[in-house]
Amino acid sequence: MSADFLPYINLRPLDITPAQIYLDSIEVARTVFPNFDLRPGTIEDAMFQAFAYMSALNIGAINRLPDSLMLGIGKMLGTPYADGTRATMDVQFTANSNDGATIPIGTMVAYTPISDTGELNASYVFETNEIHTINANNPGDALPTGTVACTVRDLGVMPSIPTGTILIFARTLFCHLCGQFCSGTER
């Protein structure tokens, strides 16, 4: 029987640096031993640094294991399986005319955050859960809008999406060849 390495959830954002582990270890040690005083350059300090470094390497390695492998290990240990909860949000669509519009079920919108370096990160694709009709209004009025509940397509760690963020209307699925949406327009 071959192993099933399904696409796995990217846990790299949950990696911890050795410095974080080192500082947390000192805090835990001071909680357990109130008079604990770790001085730089001592054997104890070197051991704390070595343990923190090795722990960070282990955490990084575990976060890169395919989740199907982790699921199997968890089942061997008797851990119950929980699939997780998909993120949801309300998205406001604006019709492009005063005649109104119909938003079909499964309409995809994407959120692509920009990192501090100005590079685009992974896209988070949401689908509408229901059909929604935006009612027409009088010519000359502001374009009509409608709010629809949407659910993210993939499980994983979701960033907080600020209110008022403009999403990309995705007309096609995410292209795995070029690593982005092949066509879409901003709303």
Average of per-residue pLDDT across 84-93: 87
Of residues 169 and 36, the one with the higher pLDDT is 36
Residue 116, helix vs strand vs coil: coil
- 8 Å CB contact between 143 and 135: no
- H-run or E-run covering 126: strand 124-128
User: Among 184, 181, 171, 183, which Cα is nearest to 104's?
Assistant: 171
Of residues 183 and 80, the one with the higher pLDDT is 80
Angstrom CA distances, 126 to 8, 44, 114, 131, 150, stand at: 18, 50, 18, 14, 6
142-154 as b/e, with b when 16 or more CB fall inside 10 Å? eebebebebebee
* Gap between the Cα atoms of 51 and 43, Å rounded: 12
* Phi, psi dihedrals of residue 25, rounded to the nearest 5°: -65, -40
Average of per-residue pLDDT across 89-98: 88
* Gap between the Cα atoms of 170 and 179, Å rounded: 14
Q: Map out the domains of the chain as residue ranges.
A: 12-76, 88-186
Q: Residue 38 pLDDT more than 80?
A: yes
User: Among 91, 89, 167, 90, which Cα is nearest to 123's?
Assistant: 167
Is the sign of the CA dihedral 59, 65, 66, 69 positive or negative?
A: negative
pLDDT confidence bin for 10, thresholds 50/70/90: low
Q: Residue 94 pLDDT more than 80?
A: yes
Q: pLDDT tens-digit profile of 147-173?
A: 999 998 887 777 888 888 888 877 544
Q: Residue 57 pLDDT more than 70?
A: yes
Sorted by sequence, the CB contacts under 8 Å of residue 38 that are 6+ apart come out as: 26, 29, 44, 45, 48
Q: pLDDT tens-digit profile of 102-129?
A: 888 888 888 888 766 666 667 888 999 9
The pairing of strands 168-170 and 184-186 is antiparallel
Whole-number average pLDDT of the chain: 79
Please indicate, yes or no, whether the overall pTM of this predicted structure exceeds 0.75: no
Quickly list H helices, the chain: 18-32, 43-62, 67-76
